[in-house]
Amino acid sequence: MRRFAYLRPARLEEALAAAAEPETAWLAGGTNLVELMKRGVARPARLVDLAGLEDLATITPLAAGGLSIGAAVRNADLARHPVILRDAPILAEAVLSAAAPQIRNRATTAGNLLQAPRCAGFLDPGAACNRRAAGSGCAARGGDGRDAAVLGATEACIAVHPSDLAVPLVALDARLRVAGRDGERTIALGTLYGADGASTLPPGELVRAVLLPAEAAGFAGHARYLKLRERTSFAFALVSAAAALRIAGGRIVAARVALGGVAPRPWRPAEAEAVLAGAVPTDALFRAAADAALAAARPIAENGFKIELARRVLVRALTLALRGTPARVPALAASPFAPAGEGARHG
Amino acid sequence: MADLPEPLPVQSAAPEAAEASIIGLTLNGVTRVVPLDDPRVTLLDLLRERLGLSGAKKGCDRGQCGACTVLLDGRRVNACLVLAVTLDGAAVETIEGLGGGGALHPLQAAFVEHDALQCGFCTPGQIMSALGLLAEEGNDPDPERIRAGMSGNLCRCGAHPAIVAAIRAVIGAGDRSEMPE
Amino acid sequence: MAEGTAPISPEGAAIGRPIARDDGVAKVTGRARYAADCRPPGLLHAVIAPSRIARGRVTAFDLDAAMAEPGVVAVMTPANRPPLAEDPDAKTAPIVFRLDLLQDDRIRYAGQPVAVVIGETLEAAEEGAFRLAPAYAAEPALVDIDAAEPFVPETVGLGAPVERRRGDVEAALATAAHRVQRRYETAAQVHNPLEPHAVVAVWEGDRLWVDTPSQNVARAQRRIAGLLGLPPDHVHIRSPFVGGGFGAKAFPAGPQVLGILAARLVGRPVKLVLSRAQMFGAVGHRAPTRQTLRLGLADDGTIAALAHHARVASSRFDDFFEPAAALSGGVYAAGAVETTHEAVRLDIATPVVMRGPGEATGSLALECAIDEAAAELGLDPLAFRRLNHADTEPISGRPFSSKALRACYDAGAARFGWAGRPLAPRSLSDSDGRLVGLGIGTAVFPSMMFQAEARALLRADGAAIVELGAHEIGQGAATALRQIAADALGLPLSAVTLRTGASDLPDAGGAAGSSHTATAGSAIHAAGTALVARLAALATADPASPLHGAGNAVLFAADGALHAGDGRRDPHAAVLARAGLGAIEARGAAAPDRAARASHAMAAHGAVFAEVAVDPDLGAIRVTRLVGAFAAGRIVNPRLARSQLVGGMIWGLSLALHEAAQFDPATGAIANADLGAYRIPVHADLPFVEALLVAEEDTLVNPLGVKGVGEIGITGTAGAVANAVWHATGVRIRRFPIRIEDLALAMPGREKEDDA
């Protein structure tokens, strides 16, 4: 690890001023950054610790409806927060399916959204990686593609975005409150990610909060996250899906869908939502929506199976969402081995 | 916590700031002032290489095995991913602080009784993680919640069933895991 | 068995008691001191710089950059590495592996150490190693077992025959009523004990003190002394606790020697601990296999022919060939049987023994093939296994010294609830629509025995100290061996202290081959017997003893006293006191009984039953129940034996479903070299695992009747899990570990069924 200067500002302005220096990284939970520094993938000269800043770690209702989730809210606190469990339990399900309790006790909301890909090429500082060093090439291109994207991959990068939390957040139209030296702005979460999945935030800008719109709560009764992975717990998604439905009169009034593990960013297939909107929910409809969601998918090397698995995971997630959100996040969160249950907490 | 020194003033503009620093932390209930020679030192390496507390183990140094689990401000964390320089004012509990007066903590006793360990390398982390689990989940005896809640702690010897049985015994949920139907 | 051996298990004996492990309290309190926990004064930290290419040469280091890191003390490269007395590539003993000790600039596998950076702190040494940035002249590397040219090695494993035959397999196959031929693939695996290899080396002149985990301190002492040109007794290896070995610590690995050399170079104590990524490099692994099983079956369900052929991989520069097919010579009765191997050489590190070397992967293929044969015949897979029970060892015709396999089938099937299992696959489901399957595998592991010595000292107060360089690697040796010692000496457990885990003690043999309790225990038994004999001689010759004049043969030791059969007794302490002796000592040795082993096959057996749930659309698998029943001779400590067996079963599950080291064809390196991407099971993967102990008596295997339980749990289990997956889905996956996509895409999928 490269030696670094450690700064712990007490005020946002100080923090933004400090982060304006080159080679500076924000330090929040550190669960991803410290690992990357140990690997030599991240070699910042300065760390600006956010722990001293006020109000980054709270969840508060917004005046216009919806919620503001502080950037430094720990994953574990998000997952057990009563307002989240009431208005957006799918976020808790996604968070609890990620990593391990020790990680969730440290990792933060914004850190989760900004985490680095787990692509072996990216994580090896000696390997070619366009994401780390533009133009250096892509070591992952030579592999079997198993962990590679099937949607939205670019010539430069085929890694998938590893976040679980980002998948339902993108589906629910979350926005970000971002602070810079020139003031604050609000952006759609989807625009945080560039084509290769890297953050589009200029250096020195800071995510202060994730804003969940008021409409999100309308989906709370029929929203599920499902994650296919190679261990029952403590594994990244092979493919995952968030499905959120608003149901009235036997019809889907509105649908929000996103996929994880298949693209450089959390993938929001508007085509699938269009298929679902206004329709009577049936297995056939869900399959049609999944087909639409994956219509543009293209395999890399040997990973064509991910396209079919993503279809099936999305169909299942929609089926579970239709059944209703369970009263409590299952012990095996987002797992195919959680009890299928009756759901319907919100009726 | 009351007798901790004030946090050091932040030198917010100097790139060479904090080359060496002093942190105050409460370690197993005892307030310590710890000089830090290097900002890169993790909590795990602080404990193991500088403070002589080698109970927390380094199994992966990447947050992927849980052998270094300690409680930080009452919550279980991977000590390998926490920079010591961030810990001014924090409270850390390690396996060395468990139990007291020569007696084993009930979790420690249950691990021995259920033979919930073999090589023992993951054991301090498993026990500290179980302690954190009980704090987070209360006495929920659902074995699936215990298994999911302990999944951040790898064990290569295969003591898992005994570990879950030991935790359930401490909760008072019986000491044998029932065979599912 | 030696004459005058004391009765093994009289009333109140320690052997057989399920006492808690002696090292339990030290381990749950964090007080157990592993090698990396040591911090001698003046300690420096050493960090290995590994090669990132698999074949070629190192052309340059950025030494200036490394040394410029504050706190870096030295960089050890081939240019300044202290001299060795032996070429690390020389085969100086029958079983010795070539080591990479910076002998030149050649690179023969990714992860090979190319330099060592030594620093005042770990942080400095790590950054120094990063900055070293070796430059390479890379050559094309081959790491694909299927792409290399095979050859037939001279031996497999540690000197086992590459081919064995009994009967004419080809003729029997040609005339068989039914033939089944199947090919199975297993992936490379890495031991990954939770404790990475570590060494703390302190030189005092020409004496060397080494704290390092070892499964064989005597072997490590010989190897290190040889390499350094020291008398073996100048090398003091201490290994009181080993944080898991599984074979990776059976032989001293290169990095451990590099830590010692680094200490020599800088003239200060050095600690070198491998990173987790480096555990995927220079410390061995389990080779991948390609296995073909051919079975010829008669109409009555008996096996007429069984042929097991395995292709395995080794390195280009040394020989270890996973004996994957060998076990098939001993499991099922067959009219004709043969086991054969071929090998390829790849640009990889040399594989080494890994828990169940050969047996693990071979059993997986065999048990799947047996299941496929049963399905071919329409027979229940347990009934088919019973029908083909081997009453004698098929490959040799020798009788077994003991074999309670049928009782294992009975006990396991009853506990598991095998009866009523539908024959057809895809017959069962749970209430959530997941497919459920039940599978079985036969477990078998040879009962090995090696040479060992032990020393017993009885003190005037009647307490004893037993010493030998045995190894507590988590298997419970420290406890089980003390139980054996207590009975051998006729002392209560509380009066016996065991000193172990150091090379200064008598050579107890290695903790490998599931043999340690049998081997080291037999030596302790012999030492105890010899000590009791000396004590008895003192007593019977002493007119003041109640036993005066009693013949040695009728004496036995128990409860801290010598006893005649007629109620007369004389406490150990009283015998010594009257003789005016402060202590008496005796030594004992153990070795395999070659005559008994020539005439009898010796193995532990078991039956493993698995229940899996499979998501019919997604292909996700969960092993919901795993029950094994095992017969392994005398069980010294049932509580600890069960733990061993359960652990082995979890390894078997992992072999079938989880573990695979993925070699990147472009670089030759293992691409998933961490514990996130190399996936061993977690708690949530293991809802229910149980091991039952089936009684078995064996008077031939060794004086104690102990067979060993360390590895047998893997065998049978991997096959049982795979067979359960087939029974759940009707899909037979033959590439292991079973991947979600292989299973999911081979299943029709529930939605599509609905459409039909």
Please state the ipTM of this predicted complex: 0.97
* Chain centroid offset of residue C160 CA: 17
Interface mutation vs chain C, best among B156, B168, B177, B178, most C CBs within 10 Å: B156
Chain A residues in contact with B69 by the CB 8 A cut-off are: 102
> Which CATH number is B166's domain given?
1.10.150.120
Interchain CB distance below 8 Å, C242 and B119:
yes
What is the arithmetic mean of pLDDT over A191-201?
A: 95
Domain identity same for B138 and B113: yes
The pLDDT value recorded for residue B10 is 31
| Higher pLDDT pick, B172 / A228 | A228
User: Alpha-carbon distance A324 to A243, whole Å?
Assistant: 11
* Residue B69, in any domain of the structure: yes
For C571, the 3-state DSSP assignment is strand
Domain chopping of chain C, boundaries: 24-32+450-591, 358-367+417-448+598-754
Query: What residues 126-185 of chain A have any CB closer than 8 A to a CB of chain C?
Result: 126-127, 139, 142-144
Range of the domain at B130: 106-171
Amino acid at position A324, single letter = G
Closest CA to C702 of C606, C556, C587, C596: C596
For C642, the 3-state DSSP assignment is helix
Q: What letter does residue C495 receive in the DSSP assignment?
A: G
CATH H superfamily, domain A219-323:
CO dehydrogenase flavoprotein, C-terminal domain (3.30.390.50)
User: Alpha-carbon distance C504 to C33, whole Å?
Assistant: 18
Number of domains in chain B: 2
Closest Cβ opposite residue A331 in set B61, B75, B142? B142
* Residue B9, in any domain of the structure: no
* Residue B16, in any domain of the structure: no
Chain A residues in contact with B153 by the CB 8 A cut-off are: 100
Same fold, C24-32+450-591 and C358-367+417-448+598-754: yes
Q: Does A40 touch chain C (CB under 8 A)?
A: yes
Q: What angle do CA C309, C310, C315 make, to 5 degrees?
A: 150
Integer angstrom CA distances of residue B56 from A204, A235, C28, C368:
36, 23, 11, 41
Q: Does A306 touch chain C (CB under 8 A)?
A: yes
Domain identity same for B91 and B114: no
* Residue B46, in any domain of the structure: yes
Which chain B residue shows the shortest CA-CA distance from A2?
Answer: B40
* Residue B4, in any domain of the structure: no
- Residue C302 burial by CB count (10 A; 0-12/13-18/19+): exposed, middle or buried? middle
Chain C residues in contact with B52 by the CB 8 A cut-off are: 39
Domain identity same for B54 and B74: yes
Neighbour count for residue B11 (Cβ, 10 Å): 16
Q: Is the pLDDT of residue B178 over 60?
A: yes
User: Neighbouring chains of A at 3+ CB pairs within 8 Å?
Assistant: B, C
Q: Are C112 and C281 in contact (CB under 8 A)?
A: yes
Q: Extract the tokens encoding A59.
A: 């969840």
Q: Does A124 touch chain C (CB under 8 A)?
A: yes
The pLDDT value recorded for residue A272 is 98
Domain identity same for B137 and B87: no
Convert the pLDDT of each residue in A81-121 to its tens digit.
999 999 999 999 999 999 999 999 999 999 999 999 999 99
User: Alpha-carbon distance C220 to C510, whole Å?
Assistant: 10
Distance in Å, alpha carbon of C755 to nearest chain B alpha carbon: 32
* Residue B10, in any domain of the structure: no
The pLDDT value recorded for residue C173 is 98
Domain identity same for B114 and B164: yes
Dihedral of the alpha carbons of A280, A282, A285, A287, in degrees to the nearest 10 = 160
Amino acid at position A176, single letter = L
The pLDDT value recorded for residue C749 is 58
Neighbour count for residue C21 (Cβ, 10 Å): 25
A and C: number of Cβ contacts within 8 A: 95
| Higher pLDDT pick, C101 / B15 | C101
Q: Is the pLDDT of residue B84 over 70?
A: yes
User: Alpha-carbon distance C473 to C489, whole Å?
Assistant: 25
Closest CA to C215 of C171, C186, C252, C257: C252
> Which CATH number is B75's domain given?
3.10.20.30
Q: Is the pLDDT of residue B88 over 90?
A: yes
- A331: phi > 0 → left, psi -120 to 50 → alpha, else beta; which? alpha
Distance in Å, alpha carbon of A232 to nearest chain C alpha carbon: 5
Closest CA to A190 of A245, A123, A244, A269: A269
Interface mutation vs chain A, best among C52, C740, C742, most A CBs within 10 Å: C740
User: Alpha-carbon distance C528 to C487, whole Å?
Assistant: 8
Integer angstrom CA distances of residue C521 from C598, C605, C637, C743:
22, 21, 13, 46
Domain identity same for B162 and B121: yes
Chain A residues in contact with C679 by the CB 8 A cut-off are: 230-231, 235
Which chain B residue shows the shortest CA-CA distance from C416?
Answer: B179
Convert the pLDDT of each residue in C52-80 to its tens digit.
999 999 999 999 999 999 999 999 999 99
The pLDDT value recorded for residue C549 is 87
User: Alpha-carbon distance A23 to B133, whole Å?
Assistant: 38
Distance in Å, alpha carbon of A297 to nearest chain B alpha carbon: 32
Q: Does A46 touch chain C (CB under 8 A)?
A: no
Chain A residues in contact with C689 by the CB 8 A cut-off are: none
What is the arithmetic mean of pLDDT over A194-205?
A: 93
- Residue C67 burial by CB count (10 A; 0-12/13-18/19+): exposed, middle or buried? middle
Return all residues near C136 (Cβ < 8 A) that are at least 6 apart: C51, C52, C53, C56, C57, C58, C59, C107
Q: What letter does residue C20 receive in the DSSP assignment?
A: P
Right CATH for A1-48 from 2.60.40, 3.30.1910, 2.30.29, 3.30.43: 3.30.43
Query: What CATH class has C358-367+417-448+598-754?
Result: alpha beta
Question: Cis ω on the peptide bond leading into residue C737 (within 30° of 0)?
Answer: yes
Integer angstrom CA distances of residue A75 from A91, A97, A333, B135, C631:
10, 11, 14, 16, 48
Q: Are C509 and C216 in contact (CB under 8 A)?
A: yes
Convert the pLDDT of each residue in C507-535 to its tens digit.
999 999 999 999 999 999 999 999 999 99
Catalytic machinery residues of C: 711
Q: Are A208 and A175 in contact (CB under 8 A)?
A: no
User: Alpha-carbon distance C92 to C227, whole Å?
Assistant: 10
Interface mutation vs chain C, best among A306, A337, A342, most C CBs within 10 Å: A337
Enumerate residue ranges in chain C where pLDDT < 50.
1-11, 751-756
- The DSSP element (H or E) to which C127 belongs, if any, is helix C122-132
Q: What letter does residue C704 receive in the DSSP assignment?
A: T
- Residue C228 burial by CB count (10 A; 0-12/13-18/19+): exposed, middle or buried? buried
Question: Which CATH fold topology does C24-32+450-591 show?
Answer: Aldehyde Oxidoreductase; domain 4 (3.30.365)
Closest Cβ opposite residue C679 in set A127, A231, A332? A231
Domain identity same for B25 and B88: yes
- The bridge status of strand B21-27 relative to strand B30-36 is antiparallel
Distance in Å, alpha carbon of C285 to nearest chain B alpha carbon: 15
Q: Does A136 touch chain B (CB under 8 A)?
A: no
Closest Cβ opposite residue C639 in set B38, B115, B127? B115
Dihedral over Cα of C367, C369, C372, C373: its sign:
negative
User: Alpha-carbon distance C514 to C324, whole Å?
Assistant: 17
Distance in Å, alpha carbon of C71 to nearest chain A alpha carbon: 12
Q: Are C458 and C649 in contact (CB under 8 A)?
A: no
Same fold, A1-48 and A219-323: no
